Chain A
């Protein structure tokens, strides 16, 4: 077996060894190699050199966290209210309703239920009226052509 550093499968072997997932045969072969190779022996034992000491978590950690959560929940409630899309939409609709109530639009559209015949009759009457108007502007002293 070659050294872990020169072995294409070195990363798999090391991680498998450290996580205890290597087969017993592969583990045995690796340990036999490490017994004669200082570098590989150190690499297999590297986790044991990583001693560490960490401080205790502060006693008031939870109290501080719950205070933050409470504060955050209040902020979230306001944020949700302000940013929810329905709120500005509803506000816009309400403003439009108020504007329409204060200044209702004047619509000048024909009545829908008026019969079509009466429309036609009105058009004919208007035409007759227009012709009468034209006659009014004709010169009064013009003799008839037949005379």
Chain B
């Protein structure tokens, strides 16, 4: 039987240095997450500090409610912490992070939509005039003077974004405000890169038409 080449036996020191080299080649967030996996709480605090505001703001743009956006963001970071033991840096950390955030936001929006539908059904069967009045929403169309104000422009943009289908809205928010590339967005949304480009194109085209007067 021919002699097989001996498997190189790494000393504990050289194994640690190899691991450290592998970790050093990873992105900063993945390095931090691997340290969290090893039990380093400080690294979790650093990750939280880096991503707290972007995640809360992304969720705020998705759900348009500050309390809910913070509640959902807490759930995102809780899930990150809970999954620390099984974390493997197979994708960018932010891809994973926004995937969780998107999943939670879309679930919340879906549940909210169901509740609203139920409410509208209740109203349809409600004979009381007063309750109908209570549920009336103020006219969101801004006047010419109001359009001059920045806050009204913001409201108009938000309203336009809210009318987009869920996937288009998510893609635009990640692309424009979180500055994720289409490759990363395709991983967050679990669709092909060409489909993501098409999604973004349709979303921007819809927004262009709706917001043309603001350009």
> Residues of A at under 8 Å CB distance from B?
4-5, 10-12, 14-15, 18-19, 39, 42-43, 45-55, 57-58, 61-62, 64-65, 68-69, 72, 76
Contact = CB atoms under 8 A, between A and B. Distances in A.
Interface string B147-183: 0001101100110010000000000100111000110
Given A54-B60, A64-B74, A45 B200 contact: no
Given A15-B200, A49-B211, A69-B78, 15 more contacts: A11-B198, A11-B200, A11-B201, A14-B201, A42-B212, A43-B208, A45-B215, A46-B208, A46-B215, A47-B176, A49-B157, A51-B157, A53-B150, A55-B60, A72-B81
B37 interface: no
A65 B158 CA distance: 28
Interface string B60-78: 1100001000100110011
B161 A15 contact: no
A7 B211 CA distance: 22
Interface of B: 48, 52-53, 56-57, 60-61, 66, 70, 73-74, 77-78, 81-82, 150-151, 153-154, 157-158, 161, 172, 175-177, 181-182, 194, 197-198, 200-201, 204-205, 207-208, 211-212, 214-215
A72 B154 contact: no
Which of A45, A47, A52 counts the most B-chain CB atoms under 10 A from its CB?
Answer: A52
B208 A42 contact: yes
A53 B200 contact: no
A12 B197 contact: yes
A58 B82 CA distance: 23
Contact of B197 (A11, A39, A43): A11
Contacts of A18: 175, 204
The 9 A-B pairs with the shortest beta carbon distances in the complex, nearest first, are A11-B201, A11-B197, A54-B57, A46-B204, A46-B208, A49-B211, A57-B56, A53-B154, A15-B197
A54 B176 contact: no
